[in-house]
A = this chain, B = another copy of it.
Amino acid sequence: MTPPRAEILSQGDELVTGQIADTNAAWLSERLTELGFLVTRHTTVGDDLDALTGVLREIGARAELCVGTGGLGPTVDDLTAEAAACAFARPLREDPEALRQIRSWFAGRAEPMPEVNRKQALLPDGARRLDNLRGTAPGFALNHAGCRFFFLPGVPHEMEFMFEHAVKTDIQSSFRTRPGQRVTLRVLGIGESTLQQRLDAIAMPPGIKLGFRTVPPENHVKLLFPAPFPTSERDTLVEKIRCALGPSVFSIDTPEQAGGTLIECVDRLMRQANASLATLETTSRGHLAQLCGAHPWWTYGLVIPDTRPVPVRLGLLPRDGLSDDLPDAAALAERLRLQQGTSHALACLESPPDTRELVIAIAAGSGIVTARRRLDGNPRYRQALSAALALDFLRRTLSTPAD
């Protein structure tokens, strides 16, 4: 079965002039690919009726599904319904339920509906209205010449909500596709070229799409398995990849279970251990406090330029000056733990300062563990990387039961 062809259409002068970047197209493409479509093209045009009408006809001639975003607002620049009416020769009609919803959206904000918003209730004849539960602009769907068109708002959170709550089920009843199975391995500390090299050594059965995505400082290995791929074989292959990549894989998302982000993994382990944490960081410049800060087990964070001028003022060490060796990062973590009364303390320092040698020390009641990591990349990247490496070491420590 060849997958049906889908195209994405984005509309707006602000996109075509680069005033905002189009994030909707990538989001929709990923969803449609997962749902079993072959996405063949994205097109972006400005607020121009002729261009828009023309591109709708072109897409109708090429694809079986089109998802369009933007141009549903109340102003004269919002031309999607008019363009669809032109392109498909269907006059615009006022949808009474759409009008009622727009009025009630304003009523909910104790505002009268401006007359311009009435335009948003005009839909091409025979279109299916898609309710917008997050904003004023309703979307709509229609068929033309063997292609099903969906028109959604351009505001990402409105668009995503409408896609998940109205478009997906419509697509699933209109098309017989075979959704793939997406597996994502999240990796820290291995670059994309090394990842690719290690994966080259693994025989990949045909039909599996392999992709990489960098979400600095993490790298994600993305596998899309065809729908009928047996789960046990899938899991065997994923396990083989996990072994090839080693302990740098901190989390795996499958259709059955989300492994989650690094801080989500740490959060799970901290809660399981009923632990609490204080942090001291230099190189990571507050990234560590920021990542931990939303969680109840984190109680205290100290951020300093480096460890040279402050040991006494911090009250963490009784003597003046720190030597730059591993034991002192350990001592610092232990003092911090005792001073703050937490079960764990984490120190994340460049030591000696400015050497790109990261020292991570974790103090707990059961003892102190330390690790050294090499930092690379530009300064901003090194900040995020050192925080992630420190959290990852905490994750590894919490995952390994104490002797």
Residues of A within 8 A of B (CB): 10, 14-23, 25-33, 39-46, 48, 51, 55, 209, 211-213, 222, 285-290, 293-294, 298-305, 309-310, 313, 315, 339-340, 379, 383
- Give bound CA distance, A299 to B294, whole Å: 24
Residues of B within 8 A of A19 (CB): 26, 30, 211-213, 222
Residues of B within 8 A of A28 (CB): 18
CB-contact partner of A340 in B27, B39, B46, B313, under 8 A: B313
Q: How far is the CB of A253 from chain B (nearest CB, A)?
A: 14
A294 and B379 in contact (CB under 8 A), knowing A289-B289, A301-B303, A304-B301?
yes
Report yes or no: B26 in contact with A25, Cβ–Cβ below 8 A.
no
Residues of B within 8 A of A17 (CB): 29-30, 33, 39, 209, 211
Report yes or no: A288 in contact with B286, Cβ–Cβ below 8 A.
yes
Report yes or no: B43 in contact with A42, Cβ–Cβ below 8 A.
yes
Residues of B within 8 A of A294 (CB): 285, 379
* A-B contacts besides A40-B51, A43-B44, A299-B304, 11 pairs, CB < 8 Å: A15-B26, A18-B39, A20-B213, A25-B44, A39-B46, A40-B46, A285-B289, A285-B290, A286-B289, A289-B289, A290-B383
Report yes or no: A293 in contact with B383, Cβ–Cβ below 8 A.
yes
A21 and B26 in contact (CB under 8 A), knowing A285-B294, A286-B286, A339-B313?
yes
CB-contact partner of A25 in B18, B48, B213, B287, under 8 A: B18
A45 and B39 in contact (CB under 8 A), knowing A285-B294, A303-B286?
no
Residues of B within 8 A of A212 (CB): 19
Residues of B within 8 A of A46 (CB): 39-41
- Give bound CA distance, A304 to B18, whole Å: 40
- Give bound CA distance, A305 to B279, whole Å: 12
Report yes or no: B300 in contact with A310, Cβ–Cβ below 8 A.
yes
Q: Which B-chain residue is minimally distant from A301 (CB atoms)? A: B303
Q: How far is the CB of A154 from chain B (nearest CB, A)?
A: 13
- Give bound CA distance, A313 to B300, whole Å: 10
Report yes or no: B303 in contact with A302, Cβ–Cβ below 8 A.
yes
A16 and B43 in contact (CB under 8 A), knowing A285-B294, A286-B303, A299-B304?
no
Q: How far is the CB of A297 from chain B (nearest CB, A)?
A: 10
Q: How far is the CB of A185 from chain B (nearest CB, A)?
A: 14
Residues of B within 8 A of A213 (CB): 19-20
- Give bound CA distance, A300 to B42, whole Å: 48
- Give bound CA distance, A40 to B50, whole Å: 11
- Give bound CA distance, A42 to B301, whole Å: 46
Q: How far is the CB of A292 from chain B (nearest CB, A)?
A: 8
- Give bound CA distance, A18 to B33, whole Å: 8
Residues of B within 8 A of A286 (CB): 286-290, 293, 301, 303
Residues of B within 8 A of A33 (CB): 17-18
Report yes or no: B26 in contact with A42, Cβ–Cβ below 8 A.
no
Residues of B within 8 A of A25 (CB): 18, 21-22, 44
Residues of B within 8 A of A290 (CB): 285-287, 290, 303, 383
CB-contact partner of A42 in B42, B48, B298, B315, under 8 A: B42
